[in-house]
Amino acid sequence: MPHEKDHQRDLFARQSRVRGMMLGLALGDTLGGARGALPADGPLRAGVSTQLACFTAEGIIRAQVRGHHKGICYAPGVVLHAYSRWAFLQGIETERMRRRWNSHGGAGWPDGWLAGVPALAERRGSAPATVAALSRIEEGEERMATPSRGCHALTRSLPVAVTGSGGIAQAGALAALTHGDPSAQSATVHAAVLAHHCLTHPAPERGPSSPSGGTVREALNAGVAALPAEDRRLTEHEHGRLTAALRHAADEPADAESLARLAPDATAPSALLGGLYAAASFPGRADFRAALEFAAHAPDGDSVACVTGALLGAVHGVEALPVDLVGRHELAWVLDTLARDLVLELDDSPSGGEYVPGWDPHWWPRYPGW
């Protein structure tokens, strides 16, 4: 039937772009952490931003499941539970995590399939503000955040872009769980808006002579233009810096000094501006690897390349990512599965809901709604 085929094609296209965003994020994190110099062979190790982004995506799915079954859900609270499972697997504040989430000593916690992934239990860098806040989880969500403006508030929150305008409003709340600085929260919201526009901007006609560079800049320009309506707290200074970064990428692309000036440190605003500049400097579909290698040489290369990869992957789709890098990444299957399941949950909740039976009996054990 034509209508069913159209839906299948639309679902496939959306999955491709979400998969591209998630895997692009991870490749950027890995390449940036290696300063662009990857080992010639062997698995590519995930960074801590990628680990946390996995739990953000899983938390979003579980929040959707809870909303369908309970009729109400505070999504940041469910995502906080996801970060707590990450901390427990990492051996961080394990007793405190048990008291908060498993006070009755049940054998099934941490639950959900993601808790069984070995690479997510290995230390892959530090996330000091996230860890410090989780160590104060018993003080309550409103008091546990640190004053940090660090980049992990932003990099780990990028999957929220998939949920659309309503979900993007939650991006700032996700950042605020652990990062109390307003600029970190604003940059996280702005990155989610840009990533959402990259995911949803109309794709160009595909063909051997079809350029895609214009599409990347169009999507980013549309995202920057939409920010005043999406974020009422946006300042003229913030908007001006984003506009200037885009303009500079068009006039003087891929300039290392410009990248260092836009992204001088490991903060969320630097990750946003540097990632925006790098993505707009290398907008071509065939330039993905070059974009990440350029971004990797920013003063904090992993955060800038992480944002760069997410934005470009969201526009171009997973098919544009270098197969040799994706095939070697240790979390490629995990990220790909999360991306597909995230789109599927938003499209048609497989576990059903309070009044609607589900069609996948295994979905709730994979993504328990709490």
Binding residues, as ranges, are 300, 302-303
Residues making up the chain, counted from first to last: 370
**H or E segment and range at residue 10:** helix 2-33
Look at residue 348 and give its three-state secondary structure. coil
3-state class percentages of the chain: helix first, strand second, coil last, to nearest 5: 65, 0, 30
Determine the Cα–Cα distance for residues 112 and 368; give it in Å rounded to an integer.
6
DSSP string over 293-347 = HHHTTSTTHHHHHHHHHHHHHHHH-GGGS-HHHHHHBTTHHHHHHHHHHHHHHHH
* Phi, psi for residue 135 in degrees, rounded to 5: -70, -15
Q: Rg for the chain (alpha carbons), in Å?
A: 19
CA angle 40, 42, 47 (to 5 degrees): 95
**At 36, which amino acid appears?**
G
Residue 267 DSSP SS3:
strand
For 131, the 3-state DSSP assignment is helix
Give the SS3 label for residue 179.
Answer: strand
Where is the binding site for Mg(2+), in residues? Answer: 300, 302-303
Class of residue 212 by CB neighbours under 10 A (exposed 0-12, middle 13-18, buried 19+): buried
- What backbone phi and psi angles, to 5 degrees, belong to 31? -65, -40
129 vs 42: CA distance, rounded Å: 31
